[in-house]
Amino acid sequence: MNYRHSFHAGNSADVVKHSLLIELVRALQQKPGALTLIDTHAGCGLYDLEGESAQRTGESAQGVLRVFADANPLLNDYRAAVQAVNVAAEPRLYPGSPRILAQLLRPQDFLILNEKHPEDADTLRSVMRDTSGAVHERDAYEFWRAMVPPRTARGVVVIDPPYEQTDERARITATLAAAHPKWAHGVTVIWYPLKDRATHGRWKEQLRRLGIPKFLTVEHWLYDADQPGIYNGAGLFFINPPYAFTQALPPMLEALRAVLAPEGHRGEIAAEWMNP
């Protein structure tokens, strides 16, 4: 499977990922200390929803465009982050995680980005030129290990790969096992697609055996039963999420489920501790 950002910009997975990422950083910013925000698979940073790649899938119609047609105030911060890169009321451009994280920066915070693909990295540098974000062009998993712990006491690492390599999950598991002891109190966010429950369950069990405390998973299943051979949803692992974030999750998750449920399906989105 291949989840390159440009083909899926603004889809339901982006809505969930970016809504929760905004809430996570806002919760951490309730304390005044500096944060370092690190994105290991940054992509291009900004996407044209009317461009060839996005139009080929048309997934934004079931994602960001649904949110813009909805009035739930719990999604206001997400809508504002998307609107910030657009002129018209209906979005044509979609901000990737780098642009969203850049919007959240306070003067004391730092943003460090990485994108391995040379063409995407060049685009990212251009897109981020008006921000303070530093852009690297390295192997994402080597970069992840090298960047922790950051110079600030607190921070977030976001891992959002395209899952185009068959060993992607194995590399995440191995890198997490190596990086977590170096920065045991740091916040880590790992995005993943959901194709079928059995395969995903086996990966979760491998991660559970790492024995990491404060390991939360949020899973968004679009359909009421698995649809064979297609994308069924996406999820996020959160390591060391702050209390303010987890307490605010239930109403936010229900708002996301309601706005993103495909016609004829209720869908499901839920948070669960991996090692309660």
The residue annotated as part of the active site, out of 160, 167, 196, 224, is 160
Q: What is the CATH number of domain 5-273?
A: 3.40.50.150
What is the model's pLDDT at position 7?
A: 76
How do the pLDDT tens digits run along the chain, 276 residues long?
445 677 789 999 999 999 999 999 999 999 999 999 999 999 999 999 998 877 887 899 999 999 999 999 999 999 999 999 999 888 999 999 999 999 999 999 999 999 999 999 999 999 999 999 999 999 999 999 999 999 999 999 999 999 988 999 999 999 999 999 999 999 999 999 998 788 899 999 999 999 999 999 999 999 988 777 677 899 999 999 999 999 999 999 999 999 999 999 999 999 999 987
On whether the pTM is more than 0.85, the answer is yes
For the question of residue 77 being annotated catalytic, the response is no
Domain ranges across the chain: 5-273
pLDDT of residue 129: 96
- Mapped onto helix, strand or coil, the DSSP state of residue 58 is coil
CB 203 within 8 A of CB 193: no
pLDDT score recorded for residue 45: 96
Q: Please tell me the distance from the alpha carbon of residue 5 to that of residue 62, in angstroms, as a whole number.
A: 16
What pLDDT does 3 receive? 53
- What Å distances lie between residue 237 and 31, 80, 117, 119, 129, CA to CA? 23, 25, 24, 29, 30
CA distance 217 to 190: 9
CA distance 158 to 40: 6
| Per-residue pLDDT, 4 | 61
Query: Which class for 223: exposed (0-12), middle (13-18), buried (19 or more C-beta within 10 A)?
Result: middle
